[in-house]
C-alpha cells in the first residue's frame, strides 16, 4: 500500500466512525512536517477518542504503526503521528478555536 493509499485509508477510517468535516491535505513538497495531514471532528470527547482508537487499530492491520499519539487523555484534540501522515481529530469546539486548516492555504485537498 503506497503513501497516498494509506492516507486515503485514514480518511475512510475516520469517516467509518462518523467523524464530521473530514479533510485530507496533500502536503508533499510543501511542508517538512508530513506528506499528508488529515483533519476531522467528533461531537464529544468520547467520540474523538473512539475515532483515534479505531484508526490506530485498523492502521496496525496494514502494517502502519503510530510514532506517537498526543492529547488522548483530554480528548479535545488528538494527534496521531504516522511520520508521513498526521491525523488530527478534534472536538468540534476545539477545531473551531484553532482553525488549523487556515495554516495551509496552499495545500491541495484530496477527496476519496
**Using alpha carbons only, how large is the chain's radius of gyration in Å?**
13
**pLDDT of res. 76:** 97
pLDDT digits (tens, 9 = 90+) for 1-45: 899 999 999 999 999 999 999 999 999 988 889 999 999 999 999
- Structural domains for the chain: 3-104 (3.30.460.10)
Euclidean distance between the first and the last CA atom of the chain, given in angstroms as a whole number:
15
Grid coordinates given for 109: 485537498
Q: How confident is the model at residue 112 (pLDDT cuts 50, 70, 90)?
A: low
Which residues are registered as beta bridge partners of 33? none
Q: What is the pTM of this model?
A: 0.95
pLDDT digits (tens, 9 = 90+) for 38-88: 999 999 999 999 999 999 999 999 999 999 999 999 999 999 999 999 999
Amino acid at each position: 500500500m503506497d503513501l497516498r493509499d494509506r492516507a486515503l485509508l485514514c480518511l475512510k477510517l475516520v469517516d467509518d466512525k462518523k467523524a464530521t468535516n473530514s479533510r485530507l491535505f496533500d502536503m508533499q513538497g510543501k511542508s517538512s512536517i508530513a506528506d499528508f495531514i488529515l483533519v476531522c471532528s467528533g461531537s464529544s470527547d468520547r467520540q474523538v477518542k473512539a475515532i483515534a482508537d479505531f484508526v490506530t487499530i485498523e492502521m496496525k492491520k496494514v502494517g502502519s504503526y503510530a510514532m506517537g499519539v498526543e492529547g488522548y487523555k483530554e480528548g479535545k484534540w488528538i494527534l496521531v503521528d504516522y511520520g508521513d501522515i498526521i491525523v488530527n481529530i478534534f472536538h468540534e469546539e476545539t477545531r473551531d478555536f484553532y482553525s488549523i486548516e487556515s495554516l495551509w492555504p496552499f495545500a491541495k485537498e484530496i477527496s476519496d
